[in-house]
Amino acid sequence: MYYHCRPLKYVEYGKLQPPPEKEVDWLLPAYRWLSNYCGYCPQIWLSRSRSSITGYRNGLCNDTVLFGFDIIKGFPVSYSHWEVILGALINTTGFESQNTAIEKTFNSILADYIDEGEEPEGEFSDWVKSDCNLENFLRDYLFKEVDQVVVPSLNLKSAKKIICHNEKQKKKLLKMGFIEDRVLIKNLKKYMF
C-alpha cells in the first residue's frame, strides 16, 4: 500500500495538486533539483508500505488524514538516501551547484570514515559502491523504489483506505463524499521526534 498524509484542511474529494510553492519554501530548492529528474515541481510524496514516514504518527498535528492506495505509478526516491542529500540541496541553489554540493557532502563524510579507519556504512557505503560517481549513485540508489515515490498529482477519491484521528474528522470526510466503509478512525500511538 502507498500512503499519503495531509492536514484535513487541505483534503479535497478529487484530484489534488501539490501544495503551493510558498508552503514548501525551505524545501523548494530540493524539490526543484528533483524536478530535473522527475519532470514536475513541487511533488506530492507517498510512502510505500511505511505510514511512519508520512508524518501521520509524529504527534505534531492531530488534524492529519492518512490516505492509502493500492497501486501508484510514481517516480521513486529512496527515503534514507534523500535524507542524506537533503541538506546539500536546500542549502544550495542551481542544479550544477547542488550536484557539486551532494558530491562534497558524500566525499567529506567518506573522508571522515577513512580518517577514523572505519568502513563506510549505509548510504555512504552505497556512495563507494557507485564509484563515488553522482550519476551512478542516483541511478543505482536514490532513484530506486524502496520506500517512497513522488507524483505530480493525486486523486484522493481513489484511496482504498482513509485513516483519521477522530469522529469529527470522519464526519467531515464523509460530508466531502468519501465512502464510509473506507474511512477508519484509528487511535495510533504517536511518537515525538
Share of the chain above pLDDT 90, in %: 77
Note the pLDDT of residue 189: 56
Please state, in angstroms and rounded to a whole number, the distance separating the CA atoms of residues 192 and 179: 31
pLDDT band of 191, cuts 50, 70, 90: very low
Contact 84, 105 (CB under 8 A): yes
Q: What is the mean pLDDT of the chain?
A: 91
69 exposed, middle or buried (CB, 10 Å; 0-12, 13-18, 19+)? buried
Q: Is residue 150 scored above 80 in pLDDT?
A: yes
Q: pLDDT value at position 193?
A: 33
Q: What is the mean pLDDT of residues 139-151?
A: 96
Instruction: Note the pLDDT tens digit of each residue in 94-113.
Output: 999 999 999 999 999 999 99
- The DSSP annotation for 30-78 comes to HHHHHHHHHS-SS-EEEEES-GGGGTTTSSS-TTEEEEEES----EE--
What are the beta bridge partners of residue 183? 162
If pLDDT is split at 50, 70 and 90, which confidence band does 58 have? low
Residue 188 has pLDDT above 70, yes or no: no
Range in 46-50, 85-89, 149-153 with the lowest mean pLDDT: 46-50
Look at 27-41, 42-56, 78-92 and tell me which has the smallest mean pLDDT. Answer: 42-56
Strand order in the sheet with 161-164: 75-76, 148-151, 44-48, 2-7, 64-69, 161-164, 183-185
pLDDT digits (tens, 9 = 90+) for 168-180: 999 999 999 999 9
pLDDT at 50 (0 to 100): 72
Residue with the larger pLDDT of the pair 58 and 41 = 41
Strand partners, 133: none
**Sequence-distant (≥ 6) Cβ neighbours of residue 116 within 8 angstroms:** none
pLDDT of residue 155: 96
Q: pLDDT digits over 113-127, tens only?
A: 999 999 999 999 999
Which residues lie closer than 8 Å to 124 by C-beta, 6 or more apart? Answer: 84, 106, 109, 110, 113
